[in-house]
Amino acid sequence: MRWCALLVICIVYTLMAQPLVWGEHAETLFMRAVEAERAGDLNRAIDLFNEVAGLDPQSAATLNNRGVVYAKMNELDRAIEDFTSALHLDPDNISVLSNRASAYLKKGEPDQALKDLNTMLKIDSGSDSVLLNRAQVWLKMGYPEKAEDDIKTILRHEERHTGALVLLGQCLIAQGRMDEAAKTFLRALRIDPDSEAASRGLGDAYFAGRKLDKALEVYTKALQKDPQNPTLLLKRCTAHLWTQNYKQAVIDCQASLRLEATNPDAHFALGNAMAGQGMLTEAVDAFSKAIELSPNNGAYFYNRGLALHQTHETTRALDDFNRAIEIDPGHVDALIARGRIYWSLGQTEKALAHFSRAYQLDGNNVGALKNLGSALLALEKQEEGIRALEEARKIAPEDSHVLAALGDAFLSKREMDSAIAYYKQAFRHEPDEIEKTRVLIRLGLAYEGAGKQSQALKTYEKAVGSLRNPDMKQPLVEKIQELRGGKR
């Protein structure tokens, strides 16, 4: 599974006071409009600001405040138009520039927001609040190093700025500097022990650094202070997923959903927890709910496809993988999964094309390489297949499936010493007992092919003791009897 953190930028809009030159009627309308906005009667506020604008179309305050109301109504184009008109009248107004930057952020145009923030810094170069906002935008745009520079400027002004320290921790996580991030969040907590953002960030740093026990400890401590926090419950659920504590993950996911039933990520996490327990029907239901709430997330379709494939609903699984790739053409895991289905249907050439595409997108993806190598071997392209598997082994030297596939390749080439060496490594690193037994049987074949009958016999005897399936066990018993040269 791959997880990514989402940066949430708080949108705050600023109202302006009315001009002093107005007459009594315009002032009354203006104040009534402001009161309507504060009471949440946004349509009434728009009507009243329109009346004021009719009396004084050159009022930057009216245009700004009407823009704030439009922004709260999510009519962002109208809001930006009003803010822009206000800035034509008052170009250096920090409040209006800030409001337009916030609207651009909400609209998903951080590059435009950045221009306004840069203008604000030209007007007030020492503003820590503007620097902090710009750092958030840099981080959102994928430039954590630039964000870090802005935050360090703030910290030179005020080293105990908790908000800046929390954002610095997020920048360090984005750069993969997990230990530094953890130290930064701990520094913020020493200044403000009750900072939920710093606690959550510390847990995130430990989680991203795969210090899962520490992450769970931090999330649990934070939940003791705020047990009804759906975000913290979901984060702890995610940490439980990574430790394969699926039962506890389900409990946390369900608790999070009771508080925030429309969070698609919580339904997605619940699906993963259910799948981890083998409850595939329930997993499919949870993934389906996530898709219903967020129909353009490729990961949701991919994971539902995996669950459907395990329940042998191949057609539906293929549809989900297709949709995942349609949403994200670079979804390597979905390409591999779709290739695996084509392979299971006997369409090896088609499978090979998918594995090749996955490898082109991510040359260090072990799954792409080992499936590519296996498909090439199946098509009797032995040298190419072995090269792909050897490349996978360099990336993941203890991957038992890669090692076993290399053993198979050299077994088919009758290069028994190499086959034996790879099967031994595969057996040593394989965690699953059933797969271990299968590797042992192939190792026995390699010993036989090398003329090492006594070692083959010992290997088969070790394997037969682990077999429970009579259909697999009986041929091996007969092989053992044959090697012993006699009767049992």
In a domain, 110, yes or no: yes
Question: Quick check: 437 pLDDT over 70?
Answer: yes
| pLDDT mean over 376-405 | 94
Over residues 451-455, the mean pLDDT reads: 92
% residues pLDDT > 90 (the chain): 79
104 in a structural domain: yes
Q: Is the per-residue pLDDT at 428 higher than 70?
A: yes
Given this model, what pLDDT does residue 463 score? 87
Q: What is the pLDDT of residues 35-50, one digit of tens each?
A: 998 999 999 999 999 9
**Residue 468: count of CB within 10 angstroms of its CB:** 8
Report the C-alpha gap between 166 and 181 in whole angstroms.
9
Q: What is the mean pLDDT of residues 60-69?
A: 91
Per-residue DSSP letter, 6:
-
pLDDT band at 387 (very low <50, low <70, confident <90, very high): very high
Q: Tell me, what's the pLDDT at 370?
A: 94
Nearest Cα residue to 45 out of 73, 21, 17: 73
Domain assignment of residue 110, given as a range: 9-125
Give me the half-sphere count of Cα atoms (radius 13 Å) on the Cβ side of residue 455. 14
Is 71 a domain residue?
A: yes
Q: How far from the centroid of its chain's Cα atoms is residue 407's Cα?
A: 35
The string of pLDDT tens digits covering residues 322-337 is 999 999 999 999 999 9
Whole-model pTM: value is 0.75
pLDDT number for residue 96: 92
Q: Which amino acid is at 167?
A: L
Instruction: Please check whether residue 358 lies inside any domain of the structure.
Output: no
Task: Quote the crossing angle between the two packed helices 264-276 and 280-293, to the nearest 10°.
Answer: 170
Cα 416–419–423 angle (5° rounding)? 140
Instruction: Tell me what the mean pLDDT of segment 160-174 comes to.
Output: 96
Q: What is the pLDDT of residue 19?
A: 52
Other beta carbons within 10 angstroms of residue 254's beta carbon come to 14
Q: Is residue 245 domain-resident?
A: no
The answer to whether residue 434 is domain-embedded is no
Query: Each residue of 280-298: pLDDT tens digit?
Result: 999 999 999 999 999 999 9
Q: How confident is the model at residue 23 (pLDDT cuts 50, 70, 90)?
A: low
Would 242 be classed as within a structural domain?
Answer: no
The total number of structural domains that make up the chain: 1
Least confident range of 30-34, 223-227, 254-258, 425-429: 30-34
Q: What is the mean pLDDT of residues 120-137?
A: 90
pLDDT at 453: 92
Question: What is the token pair recorded at 387?
Answer: 């090269």
Burial 287-323 (b: 16+ CB within 10 A, else e): bebbbebbeebbbbbbbbbbbbbeeebeeebbebbeb
Torsion angle in degrees (nearest 10) through CA of 177, 178, 184, 186: -170
pLDDT above 50: residue 20: no
Position 460 pLDDT exceeds 80 = yes
Q: Which of 415-424, 427-436, 458-467 has the highest mean pLDDT?
A: 415-424
Q: What is the pLDDT of residue 3?
A: 25
What's the whole-number average pLDDT of the chain?
A: 90
Report pLDDT for 323. 97
Identity of the amino acid at 142: G
Looking at residue 22, its pLDDT comes to 52
Q: Residue 17 carries which DSSP code?
A: P
pLDDT at position 11 is 37
The pLDDT of residue 10 is above 60: no
Q: Which of 412, 460, 463, 459 is nearest to 436 (CA)?
A: 463
Q: Residue 19: what residue type? A: P
pLDDT over 90 (residue 241): yes
* Neighbour tally for 209: CB within 10 Å: 17
In SS3 terms, 137-197 reads as HHHHCCCHHHHHHHHHHHHHHCCCCHHHHHHHHHHHHHCCCHHHHHHHHHHHHHHCCCCHH
First and final C-alpha spacing in the chain:
50
Alpha-carbon gap, residue 132 to 361, rounded angstroms: 36
In a domain, 79, yes or no: yes
Q: Regarding predicted confidence, which is higher, 56 or 364? A: 364
- Average pLDDT for 62-81: 93
- Residue 12 binned pLDDT confidence (cut-offs 50, 70, 90): very low
Instruction: Check residues 420 and 474 and name the one with the higher pLDDT.
Output: 420
- List the CATH number of the domain containing 54: 1.25.40.10
3-state secondary structure 77-102: HHHHHHHHHHHHHCCCCHHHHHHHHH
